[in-house]
Amino acid sequence: MDTTLLRKTELVEDPGGPQLEQVFVRSPAVVSRRVAGETLIVPVRGKVGDLASIYSFNETGSLIWQTLESPKGLAELINAVQQEYAVEREQAEHDVKQFLNDTLSVGLVEVREQVSMPAMNSTAQGELQSAGSR
């Protein structure tokens, strides 16, 4: 093992190492479709859509749902709403938290813990990339 490479790898912000970050993800037990400008969500139970429990989202909810195509933290969701609608951060935060509370309570969204690594300086990243290509 190239110990020189390991010594050159420096973590910049948090010397404590990896951290757990709370992220939000779409439940795998739902399907969604965009129909006539509206996002419709159908829970799937026993491989069959539960048509008695169809949910629809307004424009803001649709944006958040679309953003959740991949796991996102609270700050990322707030930023997406704030940028899309040019609203104050407090309003975007209120809207995102309301959406998350509503969707979490009915099982459309789930919370996961994700390991996040502190940022590495660009020299260390380049060395890791070049080491991986050997």
Domains of the chain: 22-114 (3.90.930)
Look over the chain and give the mean of its residue pLDDT values, rounded to a whole number.
77
Rounded CA separation 107/131 (Å): 43
pLDDT at residue 37, as a whole number: 78
pLDDT tens column, 48-107:
555 567 899 999 999 999 999 999 999 999 999 999 999 999 999 999 999 999 999 999
Q: 84 phi and psi, to 5 degrees? A: -65, -40
pLDDT at residue 36, as a whole number: 82
Structure tokens at 56: 């629809």
pLDDT at residue 118, as a whole number: 56
pLDDT at residue 51, as a whole number: 59
49 touches 127 (CB < 8 A):
no
pLDDT at residue 83, as a whole number: 96
